[in-house]
Amino acid sequence: MPFSGLSERVAAIRETVGAAVKRGGHGQHVEIVAVTKTYGPEAVEAAWQAGLTTVGENRVQEALDKMAQVTVPVRWHLIGHLQRNKARHVERFDLVHSVDSVRLAQAVDEVGERRARPVPVLIQVNTTGEETKGGFSLTELADQVSVLGALGGLEVRGVMTMAPLGADEAMLRRAFRGAREAREVLQRHGLDAPELSMGMSGDFEVAVEEGATMIRLGTILFGARD
């Protein structure tokens, strides 16, 4: 049976998350985003049956294909890079995690203005200076927060970050604390921005200790990808 034992894994992860919240002392609610990229629509159905109501997809087209096949009422999050020429598709998502530049923010803003309803987004930040990852540095965010805050077609809900692959605990904490600082930049500018999307299958406990409100889990839920 595909994804057998998923409900038990979800229960165990929720216990682990609860303990990490206590250790971190931030007292936050943590939402599990089930990352279903490459797994097929049956993973979305299985996630729903296991009590997970939010799924994350990296690619727009893969997500749209699954949306056409899935009947359960999950919330769809776009967690991967969004090209500006595909910004129109954000209407299909409940939250976009990956607004990584002013130009992309402006493209998404046009969608929100056109439909007369702001698009909920997270601002992607790169807090460790990795050249292979996109996103605002803390300095860039401080410089551009006024521009982002003025875009009426966006509802800035917080920030997202990805820690470097293979990072040790000290680097993980540096990355995640930087995201927390980035959220404070948004909040000082008057944006509500309650969300911190950070932490994946290999590092979510540290992320939760550092205040994550959303963790993006794939392999720990569904097994290794082909």
Q: Are 119 and 155 in contact (CB under 8 A)?
A: yes
Pick one of 3.20.20.10, 2.60.40.1930, 3.30.479.30, 3.40.50.300 as the CATH number of 6-222: 3.20.20.10
Could you give the C-alpha distances from 207 to 18, 21, 108, 129, 152, in angstroms and in order?
12, 10, 28, 18, 30
Mean pLDDT of 132-148: 94
Domain extents for the chain?
A: 6-222
Strand locations in the chain (E): 31-35, 54-57, 75-78, 95-99, 119-124, 154-160, 195-197, 214-217
Ramachandran angles phi, psi of 96, nearest 5°: -110, 120
How many whole angstroms separate alpha carbon 141 and alpha carbon 185? 8
- DSSP-derived secondary structure letter, 201: T
Q: What is the pLDDT of residues 158-182, one digit of tens each?
A: 999 999 988 999 999 999 999 999 9
Confidence of residue 226 (pLDDT cuts 50, 70, 90): low
Mean pLDDT of 196-216: 98
pLDDT at residue 136 in the model = 97
Q: What is the pLDDT of residues 22-80, one digit of tens each?
A: 999 999 999 999 999 999 999 999 999 999 999 999 999 999 999 999 999 999 999 99
**pTM, to two decimals:** 0.95
Quote the mean pLDDT of the chain: 95
